[in-house]
Amino acid sequence: MPRVDRIAEPWGTRTPYGPGEPWPVRVDEFLEDGVRAEDVDRWVQSASILHSNGDGLDIAVKGGRIVGVRGRAGDRVNHGRLGPKDLYGWQAGNAPDRLVRPLVRDGGRLVEADWDTAMDRIVRRTRELLDEQGPSALGFYTTGQLFLEEYYTLALLAHGGLGTNHVDGNTRLCTATAAAALKESFGSDGQPGSYTDVDHADVIALYGHNMAETQTVLWTRILDRLAGPNPPAVICVDPRRTPVAEAATVHLANRPGTNVALMNGILHEILAHGWIDGRYIEDHVVGFDELRERVEQYPPDRVARICDIPEERLREAARLIGTARRLLSTVLQGFYQAHQATAASVQVNNVHLVRGMLGRPGCGVLQMNGQPTAQNTRECGADGDLPGFRNWSNDAHVADLARIWNVDPLDIPHYAPPTHAMQMLRYVEEGSIRFLHVIGTNPAVSLPELHRVRSILSQDRLFLVVQDIFLSETAQLADVVLPAATWGEKTGTFTNVDRTVHLSERAVDPPGEARPDLDIFLDYARRLGLTDKDGAPLVKWNDAEGAFEAWKECSRGRPCDYTGLSYARLRGSGGIQWPCDDEHPGGGERLYAGGRFWSAPDQCESYGRDLVTGAPVSPTEYRALNPSGKAIIKAAAYVEPHEPPGEAYPFWLTTGRTLYHFHTRTKTAKAPQLQRAAPESWVEMSEADARRCGFAEGDLLAVETVRGEVRARLRVSGIRDGVLFLPFHYGYWDQPGGHEPEKGRGGAANELTLTDWDPASKQPIFKTAAARVSLVERGRGEPSKAPTTTASRPVTAPRDVPGTRGGTDAEAEESVITTGGAS
Amino acid sequence: MKFDLVLRELHRSENELAHVLLRLSERHKADHETYHVARDLVGWCHDHIRELARAGKDYGLDLDPSPASDTTLMRAVREKAAEWLGRAPELSLLLLADFRHLYLVASGVSLDWELLAQAAQGARRKDLLALAQRCHPETLRQMRWANARLKDSSTQALVS
Q: How far is A282 from chain B (nearest CA, A)?
A: 25
Tell me how close the Cα of A323 comes to any Cα of chain B, in angstroms: 34
Nearest alpha-carbon partner for A181 in A194, A170, A192: A192
Residue B126 touches chain A, beta carbons under 8 Å: no
Give the residue from chain B lying closest to A640, CA to CA: B40
Crossing angle of helices B32-56 and B126-159, in 10° steps, is 160
Give A160's DSSP letter.
Answer: I
Pairwise CB contact (< 8 Å): A613 & B37: yes
Enumerate the residues of chain A whose CB falls inside 8 A of the CB of residue B145: 610, 613-615
Min Cα separation A760/chain B (Å): 11
A767, A334 contact by CB (below 8 A): yes
Report how many Cβ contacts below 8 Å link chain A to chain B.
69
Angle at A696 between CA A690 and CA A698, to 5 degrees: 125
Each domain of chain B, given as residue ranges in start order, spans 3-159
* Residue A20 in this model has a pLDDT that exceeds 60: yes
List chain B residues with CB under 8 Å of A138.
Answer: none
Specify the amino acid at residue B100.
R
**Opening angle at CA A381, ends A375 and A387, nearest 5:** 100
Read off φ and ψ for residue A649, nearest 5 degrees: -125, 85
**Mean pLDDT, residues A709-723 taken together:** 97
For A621, which residue in chain B has the nearest alpha carbon?
B144
Q: Which of B40, B133, B160 has the highest number of chain A CBs within 10 A, making it the mutation to test binding with A?
A: B160
Interhelix angle A288-295/A259-272, nearest 10 degrees = 100
Q: Give the model confidence (pLDDT) of B77-124 as tens digits.
A: 554 454 444 344 578 899 999 999 999 999 999 999 999 999 999 999
Residue B88 in contact with partner chain A when CB distance is under 8 A: no
- Beta pairing, strands A109-112 & A576-577: unpaired
- Binary contact (A416, B152; C-beta < 8 A): yes
Compute the nearest-CA separation of A274 from chain B (Å): 27
Of A136, A616, A639, the CB nearest to B160: A136
Least CB–CB distance from B155: residue in A137, A415, A612: A415
- Asked if B36 lies within 8 A of A756 by C-beta distance, the reply is yes
CA distance A729 to chain B (A): 24
The torsion region of residue B38 among left (phi > 0), alpha (psi -120 to 50) and beta comes to alpha
Question: Nearest CA of chain B to the CA of A90: how many Å?
Answer: 39
The percentage of chain A sitting over the pLDDT mark of 90, rounded to a whole number, equals 96
Band (A746; pLDDT cuts 50, 70, 90): confident
CA distances from B44 to A530, A760, A807, B3 (A): 49, 18, 59, 22
Cα A576 from Cα A569, distance rounded (Å): 9
Of A432, A612, A615, which is closest to B156 when you measure between CB atoms? Answer: A432
Q: What is the pLDDT of residue A125?
A: 98
From chain B, the residues in CB contact with A165 under 8 A are: 155
* A120 alpha-carbon distance from chain centroid: 34
C-alpha–C-alpha distance, residues B118 and B120, integer Å: 5
Fold of A176-368: Dimethylsulfoxide Reductase; domain 2 (3.40.228)
Look at the domain A3-98+812-817 and name its fold: N-terminal domain of TfIIb (2.20.25)
Residues of each domain in chain A carrying CATH 2.20.25.90: 3-98+812-817
Of A133, A426, A639, the CB nearest to B160: A133
Name the residue in chain A with its Cα closest to that of B157: A432
**Candidates A461, A613, A757, partner chain B, best to mutate (most B CBs within 10 A):** A613
A435: chain B residues, CB-CB within 8 Å: none
CATH 3.40.228.10 domain range(s) in chain A: 176-368
CB within 8 Å: A614 and B37: yes
Flag if B145 and A615 touch (Cβ within 8 Å).
Answer: yes
A793 pLDDT above the threshold of 90 = yes
Which residues, 6+ apart, have CB-to-CB distance to A645 below 8 Å?
A: A651, A652, A722, A770, A771
Does B141 contact A612 at a Cβ distance shorter than 8 Å?
Answer: yes
- pLDDT 10s digits, A341-356: 999 999 999 999 999 9
Contact B141 A165 (CB under 8 A): no
Q: Identify whether the C-beta of residue A493 lies closer than 8 Å to the C-beta of residue A151.
A: no
Residues of CATH 2.40.40.20 domain(s) within chain A?
651-792
Look at A417 and B156 and tell me if their CB atoms are within 8 Å. Answer: no
What are the φ/ψ torsions at residue A241 (nearest 5 degrees)?
A: -85, 80
Nearest chain A alpha carbon to B151: A416
Residue A277 pLDDT > 70:
yes
In angstroms, the CA A387 to CA A404 distance is 11
Nearest residue of A to residue B143, measured between CA atoms: A615
Distance CA A449, CA A388 (A): 33
CB neighbours of residue B89 within 10 Å: 8
Question: Which residues of A have a CB under 8 Å from any CB of B?
Answer: 133-134, 136-137, 165, 415-417, 419, 422-423, 426-427, 429-430, 432, 610, 612-616, 639, 642, 755-757, 759, 762
CB A433 within 8 A of CB A166: yes
- Asked if B134 is an interface residue toward chain A (Cβ–Cβ < 8 A), one would say no
Q: Give the type of residue at A566.
A: S
In this predicted structure, the answer to whether residue A393 has a pLDDT above a threshold of 50 is yes
Topology of domain B3-159, per CATH? Ferritin (1.20.1260)
pLDDT above 70 for A810:
yes
| Mean pLDDT computed over A134-159 | 98
How high is the pLDDT of residue B79? 43
Question: Closest Cα to residue A211, out of A183, A241, A243?
Answer: A243
Per-residue confidence at B74, pLDDT binned at 50, 70, 90? low
Under the banding of pLDDT at 50, 70 and 90, the label for residue A817 is confident
- Is residue B27's pLDDT more than 90? no
- CA–CA min distance A343, chain B (Å): 14
Q: How far apart are CA A57 and CA A43, in angstroms?
A: 9
Q: Which ipTM did the prediction report?
A: 0.94
Nearest by CB to residue A426, choosing from B31, B90, B159, is: B31
**What pLDDT is attached to residue B69?**
65
The CATH class of the A651-792 domain is mainly beta
Contacts of B91 in chain A (CB under 8 A): 430
Task: Note whether A759 and B33 are within 8 A (CB).
Answer: yes
pLDDT, tens only, A758-787: 999 999 999 999 999 999 999 988 999 999
Residue type at A440?
A: G
Q: How far is CA A701 from CA A721, A794, B89, B120, in A?
A: 17, 17, 44, 62
Q: What value does the mean pLDDT of chain A take? A: 96
Which of B31, B148, B160 minimises the CB distance to A432?
B160
Can you give the pLDDT at residue A128?
Answer: 98
Task: Tell if the CB–CB gap between B36 and A642 is shorter than 8 Å.
Answer: yes
Q: What is the mean pLDDT of residues B37-59?
A: 96
Bridge partners (DSSP) listed for residue A502: A494
Whole-angstrom Cα distance, residue A420 to residue A537?
28
The CA-CA-CA angle for residues B98, B99, B102, to 5°, reads: 90
Measured between beta carbons, which residues in chain A are less than 8 angstroms from residue B160?
Answer: 133, 136-137, 432
Q: Hey, is the C-beta of B40 within 8 angstroms of any chain A C-beta?
A: yes
- Of residues B30, B40, B147, nearest to A612 (C-beta): B40
For residue range A23-72, list pLDDT tens digits in order.
999 999 999 999 999 999 999 999 999 999 999 999 999 999 999 999 99
Q: What's the confidence (pLDDT) of residue B135?
A: 98
How many secondary structure helices (H) and strands (E) does chain A include? 27, 29
Can you tell me whether residue A230 is helix, strand or coil?
coil
Tens-place pLDDT, residues A617-631: 999 999 999 999 999
Residue A309 phi/psi, 5-degree rounding, is -135, 155
Is residue B36 less than 8 Å (CB to CB) from chain A? yes
Q: Does B41 touch chain A (CB under 8 A)?
A: yes
B89 interfaces chain A, CB cutoff of 8 Å: no
Q: Which residues contact A283 (CB under 8 A, 6 or more apart)?
A: A595
CB contact under 8 A, B160 and A426: no
Whether B141 sits inside 8 A of A615 (CB atoms) is yes
DSSP symbol at A158: I
